[in-house]
Each structure stands twice: as C-alpha cells, then as structure tokens.
Amino acid sequence: MNTFGEYFRVTTWGESHGKAIGVVIDGCPPGLKLNEEDVQSELNLRRPGISKFTTPRVEEDKVEILSGVFQGKTTGTPISMIIFNKNVRSKDYESLKNIFRPGHADYTYQVKYGNRDYRGGGRASGRETATRVAAGAVAKKILETNGIVTIGFLREAGGISADEKIETIVPGRNVPPAQAIQLRRQIYNSPVRCPVPEISKRIEEAISEAAKRGDSLGGIVEIRSFGVPPGLGDPIFSKLDALLAFAVMSVGAVKGVEIGGGFNLARLTGSKSNDEFIYREGNIQTTTNNAGGILGGISNGMPIVVKAALKPTPSIGIVQKTVNQNKEEVEISIKGRHDPCIAVRAVPVLENMVNLVLVDRLLAANSIKL
C-alpha cells in the first residue's frame, strides 16, 4: 500500500536516489487557500543538511505543485506535488548492493520483491517521509483553519529525558491556536526539537558523541494536538487511537506507540488512571488526560497525545556482522551521509502523520469549514 487515508487520500511515490519523489492528494476540499510556500515552510523543518545533528546530505527539497490549485485556492481535484532529488551520491552504495545491512529493509525487500533499489535504501529510505510532510502541510492548513494545531517535540534521546520539565512548558490542556503556533515555533528553535533548553543541550552533546564514535541514538517523540473537537473517530476498527497508531507506526524508524499515559497506565490503579469529568468554561472536560484525548476510540475534546519510540539510525560506521546475497557471512562498516539521531527530523514527520489522520476524520464527520 502506497496510499493512506479514506477521505483525504495520500499516495506517495519515488525513491531516495531516483529522479524525484512526490505525492498525490485526492479528497482535499475546494476553496482552501494554498500555495507552494505553505508546503515549503513545512518541508524546511524536515529537510536534511540543516544542522550537525542531521544527515549532511544537502537537499533544498523545493516543492512544485503541479495540479489541484488554481488562483491560490484548491479546486477539489487531485493535488500533485513533486520534489526533485538534487544531491544524490549513489556511488556510496555500490559496495553495499549485495549486502544486507543490519537494521535496514534490504533483506526483507529482497525476499519480497527480488529486485530492489539499493541506492540509499530506495523506497525504504527515510527520504520518502518528505512526501508525507508535503501532504501533511495541506492537512495542517485545513486543521488550523478549523482551530486545530498540532505540535511535536523530542521528549527523550540517548536515555536523556525531559519528562520532569515538559509539563511546565507544553500545555496539557487546550490553548488558543495562536499560543500553540507560537510554542511550535519556539520548539523548532532547538536544534534537536526539544523544548527544555538544558535537556536540549545535553541531548545535543550526546548525539555529537555518538556520531564521533560512528554510532547513533534513538529517541522518543511526542505529538500533541490542541483544539480537536469531541466526536471524531468510530467504534471498533476505526477507533481514532487505532488510526493514529497505524499512521505513526507507518514511519520507518518507529517501533513503539503510546496514546496518552500509554504503558504507564498498566502500572496504575483505576482510581489513578481514570480521568474525572468536570464542567468548565462551557465545556465538559477532564481533570487529567491519561486517555490522551480519546475514549472508546472517539475524541473527547481534550488534547490528543501520542508518543512514538524511534530506533537508532541503522547506518553506522561501527563494524557489524551480516550476510550477503550469496549467503556468505561478512563484516560491514557503513559510510556515507546519515542522521546520527533520526528522531530529530522525525518530529515534523510525525506531526504531519497525526494531521493527516485528523483531517481524514474531520472529513468523515463532515465537520470541515473553510
């Protein structure tokens, strides 16, 4: 499946070292004000080569909108966008084409397809996520028009956690859209997307040290969506939390997802984990948000909270043992340009995957206003 969504359908295409990558959006309502800068501003948050904490591969990720927009507004027809790959170095992968890199999809793609693009991971590369961000930028524009703002941040990396300080910086309750947008800008001022300055500095140092060793780090990214109305999602198989988990897990490096309190709820009693209801400011709310804004698979009006655990970048310079296509055991040390901590650039990707789900469910509920 290269298509995601039911009402807001997103199809991505292209490979890491191919001529271009791109996305087609079908189902975007007509009348939305949209231009290339709206999309480019989001892509700039994800693009490589922007700091020493990301891959040194420099791509401008310049997007072109090919269809679906006329005179600055969407027409309701498919929106097609393209991003040309400019800075490929396929020769870096020539010596690896017959070797199954540990932690990569080389072996599984070879077993399934028999013919794989080994250059930079091909379709399995994290570069594919640029197309998701492009689609998510359109979803983001729709959501913000409807008073919904999604923010993401790096909560932990290399075992260094901002847990104790997060709640003093990132609101646990709904806030005005302008406040949430400003907070998001502040978060992206951190080179590693961590909102706690002292923790950000420690994570920066840890990533630098790992990179010097030829190693990499994993991390935990948290996403919060403010202003989500109650009633989104459906019981049983289209639960909002199930759709969010599916969307977040579809990002290559993600190996775990939590909604709200997640696994920690298994360690509590019911009296501690239940979110009690109150009536405040004309709305039914809860005193806590252990449920992450979702009950019975349906949004309850509190902020949506999703956490994602990302594994360390598998491309590392340290010597590892593996097997080649001739079934011979060999050693490998991966050179080239890779993120020392993929969780840093995953923040805007995961934000936009959440946005894609929320827009899809708003359309399902016929609740979008433009």
Q: Which domains does the chain have, with CATH numbers?
A: 3-364 (3.60.150.10)
Check: CB of residue 348 under 8 Å from CB of residue 104: no
Helix/strand/coil percentages in the chain, nearest 5: 35, 25, 40
Query: Taking the CB of residue 303, how many other CB atoms lie within 10 A of it?
Result: 25
51: pLDDT strictly greater than 70: no
- The Cα diameter of the chain in Å comes to 68
Mean pLDDT of 145-152: 98
Q: What's the Cα-to-Cα distance from 331 to each of 29, 124, 234, 340, 369, rounded to whole Å? A: 52, 22, 49, 21, 57
Pick from 317, 249, 257: nearest CA to 102: 317
Pick from 190, 212, 213: nearest CA to 203: 190
Mean pLDDT of 16-43: 95
* pLDDT tens per residue, range 156-199: 999 999 988 998 999 999 999 999 999 999 999 999 999 999 99
Q: What's the Cα-to-Cα distance from 167 to each of 164, 170, 171, 224, rounded to whole Å? A: 7, 5, 6, 12
* pLDDT tens per residue, range 240-285: 999 999 999 999 999 999 999 999 999 999 999 999 999 998 999 9
- The pTM is what? 0.94
100: pLDDT strictly greater than 70: yes
Pick from 322, 313, 335, 316: nearest CA to 99: 322
- Angle CA 347–243–299, to nearest 5: 95
Check: CB of residue 52 under 8 Å from CB of residue 208: yes
Query: Torsion-angle region of residue 196: left (phi > 0), alpha (psi -120 to 50) or beta?
Result: beta
* pLDDT tens per residue, range 324-353: 999 999 999 887 667 899 999 999 999 999
221: β partners: 154, 308
Check: CB of residue 306 under 8 Å from CB of residue 209: no
Query: Taking the CB of residue 266, how many other CB atoms lie within 10 A of it?
Result: 8
3-state secondary structure of 156: strand
* pLDDT tens per residue, range 52-75: 776 665 668 899 999 999 999 999
Token output for 361: 């469910």
Task: Give backbone dihedrals phi and psi of 348, rounded to 5 degrees, phi first.
Answer: -65, -30
- The position carrying tokens 């001529």 is 19
The predicted pLDDT at position 1 comes to 86
Check: CB of residue 234 under 8 Å from CB of residue 297: yes
